[in-house]
Structures are given as C-alpha cells and as structure tokens.
Amino acid sequence: LDLSLPHKVADLSQADFGGKEMQLSEREMPGLMECIRKYGSQKPLQGLKVMGSLHMTIQTAMLIKTLHALGADIRWASCNIFSTQDHAAAAVVEQGLAKVFAWKGETLEDYWWCTEMALTWPDGSGPDLIVDDGGDATLLIHKGVEAENDPSILEQKTDNKEFQCVLDRLALRLKEDPRHWHKVAAGMKGVSEETTTGVHRLYQLEKEGKLLFPAINVNDSVTKSKFDNLYGCRESLADGIKRATDIMVAGKVVVICGYGDVGKGCAQSMRGFGARVLVTEIDPICALQAAMEGYEVTTVEDALPLGDIYVTCTGNYHVITGAHMEGMKDEAIVCNIGHFDNEIDMNYLENTPGVSRLNIKPQVDKWTLKSGRSILILAEGRLVNLGCATGHASFVMSNSFTNQTLAQIKLAKENLEKKVYTLPKELDEEVARLHLGRLGAKLTKLTPEQADYIGVQVEGPYKAEMYRY
C-alpha cells in the first residue's frame, strides 16, 4: 500500500458536476439535512476515524458530507466494483469531505486494494468506526485476525477469484506486520451494517463467538428495510434493466426469485409496467404472500419455457444455475439485485467450454450457451440497479442513511459490547417523522385518552417490538 496516496478516483474534473448533483439531492434528503442541523454543532464524531465501504454514489456523498459535518475524519471505498458514480467520488474528494478510493469498473484486485487503503490511515492505524454495506470491510479485518492467528489459512487453494484477492492482500500485510489486523480490531468502536447480506454475516460471527467489535444492524430498522429494500428496488430495478437493454417490459414474463423485501418491490415494479410476474420462493410464508398478491408461484425449472427476464433477489447462492441458463428462451435477460454476484452461477458461464461471451456495452454481455441459444447477463451478475443504473433515489436513501448516522453516533457515544444491536424504535419513528414533511403528509396526534386506551405514550413508540409493519 502506498499510504502517501491521498485518494484514487477516476476523474477529478467531474467534481463540479458531482457537487451540483449533491446540492440537488439536499431537498430530497431531509433526514440527513436535519442530522447536520441538529448535530453539526455538537460534533459527536469529532476526533474519530470513520471508514466506509458503501456504494460511492451521490446519495453516499451526502452521507459522507453529514458524517464530516459531525466531525469525522473519513476514508471511503465502494462495496461493489461497478457501483461508483465517478462524479460523486470526485466531488467528495474536491470538497475535502473524505479520502476516496473508488471508481466505476474496478478489477477485483483494485477493489480489495481500495478497501484496504480506506481501512488504513497514513500513520498505519485503522478506523474507530466502519459504515459497511455487505460486510467486506468487516470481513477483511476478521479474516486478517484469523490469518495472523493461523497463517496456514493463507495457503488454502480456492477457485473463488474474489477470496483469492483477499488471501493475497492478507499475505502481503502479514509479511509487513504480523499483528496489524489484531491492532485494527482492538481499536474499533464498532460497525454499522447497511444490508441484509452483511447483517447475516454479522449474526453468524456473533453466533460463533467470533465477532471482534460491536455492530449495529441498520438494515432491520423498519425505516431501512421496509423502505430502501422495497420502494428503492421498486424504482431502481426497472432503471437498471431499461438503461442496460431498452427492453419493453409490458407483456413480458418476469421471474422474480425471492419474495422478501427486495423481491416484493421488484415484483410490484415489473407488474406496474404490465409484465406477467412469476415468483419463486423457498419460504412458505413469503410464497403465500406472493400468491395472495396474485403472482404465480412456481420454480425456476417450471418457469424456463416462459421467462423473458429473470431477477434474483434472494441473497442466496446459485439460485440460477448453469442448467437453468441452458434451458432458458433465446435472449432471455438475466440479472441480480441481491448483494453478491453468486446468486447467478457466473462461474458456469466463464469456465464452461463451448460457452462464449460477446460484450455489447459496459455491464451488458450476450453469452452464447451450449444449447445454441443466448442470454443477456447484466452487470456481470452483480447488483443490476447499481451496476447498470445509479442505485436508489435520494429520498429513500435519506431514510437509510439517517439510520446510519444515528448508528454511528450511538457507537461513538456508548461503549457497546461485542454483539449485534438494532436501533431503538423511538429513533426509527423519528427517522420516518423527518421524512413526512417533504411528502406533505399530515400526522394525526393521539389524544391522551386514546394513548391510554391503546397503552402507548402520546409521543410514541406506537408499536410493540414484535409488530411487523
């Protein structure tokens, strides 16, 4: 690592454009603007080093601006090789908000280099706090500690290109300082995690007793997963598919794999365009929900003769296999909106003799299969809304990122244990409240008698913990 490097972005001349788009997003991000107004003078993050591993978009630039206003010293990387908006990265650097290491179209080697650069301050120290999305920054620290305890794990052979990059980085680091990641982990006040997949990883670490620092699960704030995952994807899925292919969605058969928060938004979106939507699920509750919304619930195998567009939204592994792709209609479109690219078996396409790739444009490839038919793969199987479009709109991200900001303040202020926490319901309700005004919504106020009758306080919280929204 060259720690004298102040930042690495694609093109600083785009900073002005990025700055203008940041300014335009202010009205749409009332939660973040209120955080700046409320906490800007108290500076609860003063003197703290914050590292971010989260899609470097305009919306994220506004989160960075907020954390900077709260006093943080920030370094940032993206959490996906295709999701950076280069003008956003340039604006953040130019405005002196953070040191950014991110550009659109990184290689996997670049990606892990950027992650490690963002995790390492010029004096060699690590961050106090991490804003993670998908858990890659957290993973690098945990794997680093594991490798320092048992260097033999670095010898393991893996076909997973991405994991190999992690092992290579750790091997380099181990030579320089055999206790580096131990020191980084020991210095950490905590991480706040943005997404379902990253949160799964955190609960797994906690369960195995391996979690090295406190964590806040931001995803499961109601004002995050029931908004960003649902309404965010309801708009940005179509944006990704349209920008990539210009396909007419109306009348097509769209297969949505997984009917969780993301799947629900994606299914509704495609139906809204006039598609016939089929849903696949493993969970009978979600399958029943889909059926009662009027979607046909079936399996990928049974959908193969019908599907024109496939969207994976499961956070699971190999939901679309090589055999599935071989069985699809000619020029079917296949994309993923879940966090990692292994929902589609990209390995099958890349490593099967007789399967060939024709690049149409960046992030759009036509793969010819052994069947003689072809399919279109978007964003190389990575999240289509961020790879082929610009991710979610500012308004919904303001909800998510207000939760992130409150989580960072909580981690900074409180000495939490090495567990996974969620934010209290009062804060969740507050995040929602901050976003009502922009939409002209009028909230009804409980009378004291009514509050008493339903057993809550006039000022909330209004629901019990088990309420599911």
83 counts as catalytic: yes
* Active-site option among 224, 252, 264, 435: 224
Q: How far is it, in rounded angstroms, from Cα 105 to Cα 111?
A: 9
Q: Binding to ligand NAI by residue 337, rule CB under 6 A?
A: yes
Residue position matching structure tokens 């019990």: 464
* Contact characters 385-424, ligand NAI, x per CB under 6 A: x------x--------------------------------
Structure tokens at 237: 């899925």
392 counts as catalytic: yes
* Contact characters 204-233, ligand NAI, x per CB under 6 A: ---------------------x--xx--xx
> Of the listed pieces 203-211, 313-321, 419-427, 443-451, which binds ligand NAI according to CB under 6 A?
313-321
Q: Binding to ligand NAI by residue 338, rule CB under 6 A?
A: yes
Q: How far is the CB of 256 from ligand NAI (least distance, A)?
A: 9
194 counts as catalytic: yes
Q: Binding to ligand NAI by residue 286, rule CB under 6 A?
A: yes
Number of other residues whose CB lies within 10 A of the CB of residue 113: 19
408 counts as catalytic: no
Q: How far is the CB of 16 from ligand NAI (least distance, A)?
A: 27
Q: Binding to ligand NAI by residue 256, rule CB under 6 A?
A: no
Q: For residues 47 and 71, is the Cβ–Cβ distance under 8 A?
A: yes
Q: Exposed (0-12), middle (13-18) or buried (19+): which is 64, by Cβ within 10 Å?
A: buried
* Active-site option among 219, 236, 268, 399: 219
Q: How far is the CB of 281 from ligand NAI (least distance, A)?
A: 5
Q: How far is the CB of 123 from ligand NAI (least distance, A)?
A: 34
Q: Exposed (0-12), middle (13-18) or buried (19+): which is 251, by Cβ within 10 Å?
A: exposed
Pairing of strands 364-368, 374-378: antiparallel
* Largest separation between any pair of C-alpha atoms in the chain: 73
| Residues in region 173-202 near ligand NAI by CB under 6 A | 195-197
398 counts as catalytic: no
Binding residues for ligand NAI, total number by CB under 6 A: 31
- Cβ closer to ligand NAI: 52 or 338? 338
Q: How far is the CB of 415 from ligand NAI (least distance, A)?
A: 29
* Active-site option among 339, 374, 410, 435: 339
* Contact characters 139-168, ligand NAI, x per CB under 6 A: ------------------------------
Q: How far is the CB of 340 from ligand NAI (least distance, A)?
A: 7
Q: How far is it, in rounded angstroms, from Cα 235 to Cα 391?
A: 9
Q: How far is it, in rounded angstroms, from Cα 447 to Cα 283?
A: 41
Q: How far is the CB of 339 from ligand NAI (least distance, A)?
A: 4
- Cβ closer to ligand NAI: 66 or 280? 280
Q: What is the DSSP string of 428-442?
A: HHHHHHHHHGGGT--
Q: Phi/psi zone of residue 190: left (φ > 0), alpha (ψ -120 to 50 degrees), beta?
A: left
Q: How far is the CB of 240 from ligand NAI (least distance, A)?
A: 9
* Active-site option among 35, 114, 233, 335: 233
Q: How far is it, in rounded angstroms, from Cα 265 to Cα 287?
A: 15
Out of 281, 341, 345, 380, name the contact with ligand NAI by CB under 6 A: 281
Q: How far is it, in rounded angstroms, from Cα 4 to Cα 20?
A: 29
Q: Exposed (0-12), middle (13-18) or buried (19+): which is 68, by Cβ within 10 Å?
A: buried
80 counts as catalytic: no
404 counts as catalytic: yes
Residue 376: its H or E element: strand 374-378
Q: Binding to ligand NAI by residue 261, rule CB under 6 A?
A: yes
Alpha helices in 26-107 (DSSP H): 30-39, 58-69, 86-94
240 closest CA partner among 80, 374, 372: 80
Which residues participate in catalysis according to the annotation? 55, 78, 83, 133, 194, 219, 224, 228-229, 233, 339, 392, 400, 404
Residues that bind ligand NAI (CB under 6 A): 195-197, 225, 228-229, 232-233, 257-263, 280-283, 286, 313-316, 319, 337-339, 383, 385, 392
